[in-house]
Structure 1
Amino acid sequence: MKHFLTRQSRLSARILLCLILTQPLIARPAPTVEAAPSHAASQASAPPPSMPVDCEQGKVLSFVAHPDDDLLFMNPDQDDAIKEGRCVHTVYLTAGDRGEGLGYTLARERGIKAAYASMADTTNDWRTDGLRVGRHTLVRHILRANARVQLIMLRLPDPWLGTGWGSLTPMSRVESVRHARVRSYAPYPDTYTRRELVHLLADLIRQERPQAIRLMDASIPTPYRSLCWRCAGHDHPDHIAGARLVEAAMAITPGPYVHTAYLNYPSQERQANLDTARAARKTAIYLRYAKDDPHSCPPGTDCSKPRGPEAAWVKRQYYARPTGLPLQARTAQTASSGP
């Protein structure tokens, strides 16, 4: 009987020892993602890493009202900057939607991406993310094969607010009418007053730290409501309003950058100043954009050459100040130096 108890006691001791050894494994809960995330989980939840960008050759920050303004009025300067290996970041202030909504906006963005890929002589393949500027987020397209090329979209709606020419657009109203506001399109809708737009652009300049800023012509004296299509010396209200907003932003964000303003619609009134080869390349780049823009190239239309005033604009590039200076006159560039 004593021997039996001893054996039973030993058995009980072994069972108890096993329970003690295995208890932590049974009681310990499985690790959660928050406590110990797996590598795959952290990769999926984290934002995509920033692409390394080499801007040793300098950075050009360009501001235009609509997709295609840069192709028609700032080229071949934009094309040359890309060829020189400079970072070329272009900001589109409006969605360019003509009141037709986001669908047409996206078509124009496809066109402008294709045109820049053509200028960079690489595959039309882009990564899109959200660029944080202060408390705002903007759509940004980054060319995968050349991350020095980036397109930044504010996507401000862009219908006529009246019957067309001689009326306001949302951006020209915000620029000229006190307390006016405008709300941008998805995926980062935001509402802006004139002051908020100016400070957003100033924050963007400060964040981008460009060596050169390019903008449209703010000097057209005709009031927005008196502008007309194809009238001598007239321009689009978005071109003028956007340039004035950028000028206001530069005024509160001085820095060691050069800024250049470009003549827009009125350039058609001046002599063609691009040689045959440069005009042909500028035309080809614009036509690559137009292929995706159903207004510039309606389905079923022969789009082998520009239509309307675009045919004149692709043969010209003029700086806006002090007057319509020819392409070779670099005195149009003005340095802005900060403290």
Structure 2
Amino acid sequence: MIAGVWAHYDDDLLFGTPTIDRAIRSGHRVRNLFLTASDAGTGMSPYVAGRERGIRAAYDVMRGSTTAWSDRETVLANGVAVSVTSPDDDPRIALAFLRLPDGGLTGGGWFANGYRTVPRLRAGKIPSLTTLDTGQEFTVERLVATVAAFITGSGATSVLTNMPDSAPGGDGDHPDHGATGGLVAAAVDAGLIDGATVRYAVGYPRHAWPANLDAEAVARKLAVFAAYGEHDEILRRDPDDYLALAGLGEWLRREHLIDESDVGRGGDRR
């Protein structure tokens, strides 16, 4: 059973696939927690709603069905409420949305959200952060506990997440990615989750790593991502055009997952 903890709605598709796709096709369960609303400073907007439709569509491709999804609120063991969506005919899959503000490419956020972001929270620049939809407040400690509660509550035997910003492989990545991986790493260091189950996905810097997916795997990954992209008003384009995009095309041709034990510790991993 895979539990994923990701910064944005497409991180699992770009950096944790084909592993996730193959797990679903083999009959395994997948639970993902997305920390931010992936809102690009727009708040709870049509843009966010579109991206959430897109992530459902991508998992429809993986599971081979387009039946309806239903939403519910779930309260984790530490008292945090998350919005969870699952296909009506496939309880193996659950996507949980915490909907914290997106940090943007600088990690500093936007005026509309008061420049309050997960990277700034972890850096100690703000004392707390609130969700865009429910107004739940998070300190760093509560966010680490939330990540741990999601993972342990899912019964995960494998955990996938973004590369921590403290790791050499995290240099040059999106700040939200590094902060998300850093929260999982902090949960490992605190003994809240088993590090032996955790693998970190190399993100933006992966374009410099060797391409390691064959043509069939790339075509399948592209089909999954294109189903998502159809609902993302910024990324939307003809499917074959994604492979020609700088960065995105390289990510679609690669997947590099690093075991927790192989990720170096550098700096504060709170």
TM-score by length of 2: 0.86
Check whether the contact 1:283–1:305 (CA below 8 A) recurs between aligned residues.
Answer: no
- Give the equivalent residue in structure 2 for 1:153: 97
Q: Aligned partner of 1:315: which letter?
A: R
* Separation in 2, partners of 1:236, 1:216: 10
* Separation in 1, partners of 2:210, 2:138: 39
* Separation in 2, partners of 1:166, 1:292: 24
1:237 is aligned to 2:184:
no
- Of residues 103, 106, 116 in structure 2, which corresponds to 1:165? 106
Check whether the contact 2:162–2:202 (CA below 8 A) recurs between aligned residues.
Answer: yes
Check whether the contact 1:73–1:264 (CA below 8 A) recurs between aligned residues.
Answer: yes
1:211 is aligned to 2:157:
yes
> Where has structure 1 moved over 6 Å in runs of 4 or more?
none
The CA deviation string for residues 162-196 of structure 1, in whole angstroms up to 9 with x for no partner, is xx53746601011111552111022x330111111
Q: Which is further off, 177-186 or 117-126? A: 177-186
* Cα pair distance change 1:148/1:312, threshold 3 Å: same
Equivalent residue of 1:127, what SS?
A: strand
- Give the equivalent residue in structure 2 for 1:40: none
Q: Map 1:11-26; keep pairs closer than 5 Å.
A: none
Check whether the contact 2:103–2:119 (CA below 8 A) recurs between aligned residues.
Answer: no
Equivalent residue of 1:305, what SS?
A: helix
* Separation in 2, partners of 1:137, 1:182: 15
1:253 Cα deviation after fit = 1.5
- Give the equivalent residue in structure 1 for 2:52: 109
Q: Map 1:1-339; keep pairs closer than 5 Å.
A: 59-103=1-45, 104-133=47-76, 134-160=78-104, 165=106, 167=108, 170-177=117-124, 180-186=127-133, 188-220=134-166, 233-250=171-188, 251-255=190-194, 258-297=197-236, 301-306=237-242, 307-320=245-258
Equivalent residue of 2:91, what SS?
A: coil
Check whether the contact 2:107–2:117 (CA below 8 A) recurs between aligned residues.
Answer: no
1:197 Cα deviation after fit = 0.6
CA RMSD of aligned residues (A): 2.3
* Separation in 1, partners of 2:120, 2:39: 16
* Cα pair distance change 1:277/1:170, threshold 3 Å: same
Structure 2 portions without partners, runs of 5+ = 110-115, 264-270
* Separation in 2, partners of 1:79, 1:66: 17
How many pairs were matched up? 251
Q: Aligned partner of 2:52: which letter?
A: E
1:219 Cα deviation after fit = 4.8
Q: Aligned partner of 2:140: which letter?
A: R
The structure with higher relative contact order (CA 8 Å, sep 6+) is 2
1:202 Cα deviation after fit = 1.7
Query: Whose radius of gyration is greater, 1 or 2?
Result: 1
Check whether the contact 2:18–2:221 (CA below 8 A) recurs between aligned residues.
Answer: yes
1:75 Cα deviation after fit = 0.4
Residue identity over aligned pairs, in percent, reads: 29
1:254 Cα deviation after fit = 3.5
Equivalent residue of 1:153, what SS?
A: strand
Equivalent residue of 2:257, what SS?
A: coil
* Separation in 2, partners of 1:68, 1:318: 16
Equivalent residue of 1:273, what SS?
A: coil
Q: Aligned partner of 2:19: which letter?
A: D
TM-score by length of 1: 0.69
Check whether the contact 2:5–2:147 (CA below 8 A) recurs between aligned residues.
Answer: no
Check whether the contact 2:226–2:239 (CA below 8 A) recurs between aligned residues.
Answer: yes
Structure 1 portions without partners, runs of 5+ = 1-58, 228-232, 323-330, 334-339
1:271 Cα deviation after fit = 2.0
Q: Aligned partner of 1:81: which letter?
A: A
1:321 Cα deviation after fit = 5.3
Check whether the contact 2:223–2:239 (CA below 8 A) recurs between aligned residues.
Answer: no
